Structure 1
Amino acid sequence: MRRVVITGAGTVNALGLTVPETYAALRDGRCGIGDLDVRDVERLSIRIGAQVRGWDAEAHFNRQQIALYDRFTQFTLHAAKQAVEQSGLEFCGELSMTSGVVLGTAGGGVNTWDENYRVVYEEGKNRVHPFVVPKLMNSAAASHVSMEYNLRGPSFSVSTACASSNHAMGLAFQMVRSGAAKAMLTGGAEAMLCFGGIKAWEGLRVMSKDACRPFSADRNGMVQGEGAGVFVFEDYDHARARGAQILAEVAGFAMSSDASDIVMPSAQGAERAITGALRDAGLNPEDVGYINAHGTGTAANDKTECAAVAHAFGHHADRLMISSTKSMHGHLIGGTGAVELLACLMALNEGVIAPTIGYQEPDPECALDVVPNVARQAQVDAVLSNAFAFGGLNAVIALRKL
Structure 2
Amino acid sequence: MEFKRVVVTGLGALTPIGNSVPEYWDGLVNGVSGAALIKSFDVTKFKTKFACEVKNFDADGFLGRKDARKLDPFVQYALFSTEEAVKDAGLDFEKLDTSRIGVIWGSGIGGLKTFLDEVVNFAKGDGTPKFNPFFIPKMIADIAPGHISIKYGLRGPNFTTVSACASSNNSLIDAFNYLRLGKANMFITGGSEAIINEAGIGGFNAMHALSTRNDDPSTASRPFDLDRDGFVAGEGAGTIILEELEHALKRGAKIYAEMVGGGMSADAYHMTAPHPEGLGAALVMKAALEDAGLTPQDVDYVNVHGTSTPIGDPQEVKAITDAFGDRVYDINISSTKSMTGHLLGAAGAVEAIASILALKHGIIPPTINHFTDDPAFDPRINFTFNTAQKRDVNVVQSNGFGFGGHNASVIFKKYQQ
CA distance in 1, matches of 2:76, 2:164: 20
Sequence identity, in percent? 39
Q: Determine if the alignment matches structure 1 residue 165 to structure 2 residue 194.
A: no
Q: What's 1:43 paired with?
A: 45
Separation of aligned partners in 1, 2:181 and 2:373: 44
Matches within 5 A, 1:80-159: 80-92=82-94, 95-122=97-124, 124=126, 126-159=129-162
What SS does structure 1 have at the residue aligned with 2:369?
Answer: coil
1:248 counterpart (252, 257, 260):
257
Q: Is 1:222 aligned to 2:231, yes or no?
A: yes
2:197 to 194, 197, 221: 194
Q: Deviations over 1:14-70 (max 9, x none)?
A: 011100000000010000011011323112111110000111111101233112211
Partner of 1:52: 54
Does 2:385 match 1:369? Answer: no
From 272, 275, 279, the equivalent of 2:290 is 279
Matched, 1:22 2:35: no
- Structure 2: distance between partners of 1:227 and 1:217: 28
Separation of aligned partners in 2, 1:300 and 1:310? 16
Q: Name structure 1 gaps, 5 residues minimum.
A: none
Alignment-mate amino acid for residue 262 of structure 1? M
Counterpart pick for 1:393 among 400, 406, 413: 406
Query: Is the helix fraction higher in 1 or 2?
Result: 1
Partner of 1:179: 182
Shift of 1:307: 0.4
Task: After TM superposition, give the deviation of residue 135 of structure 1 in Å.
Answer: 0.6
Alignment-mate amino acid for residue 237 of structure 1: E
* 5+ long unaligned stretches in structure 2: 214-219
SS of aligned partner of 2:24: helix
Q: Determine the structure 2 residue equivalent to 1:212.
A: 221
Which among 312, 325, 329 is matched to residue 314 of structure 1? 325
Shift of 1:302: 0.4
Which of 341, 346, 350 in structure 2 is aligned with 1:339? 350
> What are the Cα deviations for residues 162-213 of structure 1, in whole angstroms up to 9, with x where unaligned?
1001011110110111111100000000000011111111111021022010
Decide whether the 8 Å contact of 1:306 with 1:365 is kept in 2.
no
Aligned position for 2:299: 288
Whether contact under 8 Å (2:59, 2:65) holds in the other structure is: no
Q: Please, what TM-score do these two structures have when normalized by structure 2?
A: 0.94
Question: What amino acid is the match of 1:270?
Answer: A
Question: Which structure 2 residues correspond to residues 348-363 of structure 1 after superposition, within 5 A?
Answer: 348-363=359-374
Whole-Å Cα distance in 1 between the matches of residues 179 and 121 of structure 2? 44
**Pairwise CA distance, 1:120:** 1.2
Look up the match of 1:73.
Answer: 75
CA contact (8 A) 1:347 1:379 kept: no
Give the superposition deviation at 1:108. Answer: 0.5
Cross-structure match for 1:329: 340
What code does the residue aligned with 1:107 have? Answer: I
Moved more, 34-43 or 324-333: 34-43
Q: Distance in 2 between matches of 1:377 and 1:279?
A: 27
| Equivalent residues of 1:11, 1:17 under 8 A apart | yes
Instruction: Work out the CA distance in 1 between the residues paired with 2:377 and 2:22.
Output: 31
2:240 is aligned with 1:238: no
Q: 1:378 aligns with which of 385, 391, 396?
A: 391
CA distance in structure 2 between the aligned counterparts of 1:217 and 1:197, rounded to whole angstroms: 26
Q: CA deviation digits over 1:78-127, x for unaligned, max 9?
A: 00001111111223476200111000001101111121122111355741
Residue 11 of structure 1 aligns to a residue whose secondary structure is strand
Q: Is the 8 A contact 2:103 2:149 kept in 1?
A: yes
Post-superposition Cα deviations, 1:323-373, rounded to whole Å, max 9, x if no partner, equal 001110000111111111121012100111110001111123332211001
Distance (Å, rounded) in 2 between the aligned partners of 1:163 and 1:378: 28
Structure 2 counterpart of 1:260, one-letter code: Y
Structure 1 vs Structure 2 CA RMSD: 1.2
Distance 1:226 1:122 in 2: 28
Equivalents in 2 of 1:271, 1:106: separation in Å?
A: 22
Letter in 1 for 2:325: G
Count of matched residue positions in the alignment of Structure 1 and Structure 2: 402
In 2, Cα distance between equivalents of 1:320 and 1:95: 41
Residue 257 of structure 1 and its aligned partner are, at CA, apart by: 0.9
> Are 2:307 and 1:300 equivalent residues in the alignment?
no
SS for the counterpart of 1:219 is coil
Contact 1:38–1:195 (Cα < 8 Å) also in 2? no
Could you tell me how far apart the structure 2 residues matched to 1:219 and 1:382 are? Answer: 29
Distance 1:95 1:88 in 2: 15
Does the CA contact (< 8 Å) of 2:240 and 2:353 recur in 1? no
Q: Helix, strand or coil: the match of 1:10?
A: strand
Contact 1:98 1:153 in 2 (8 A): yes
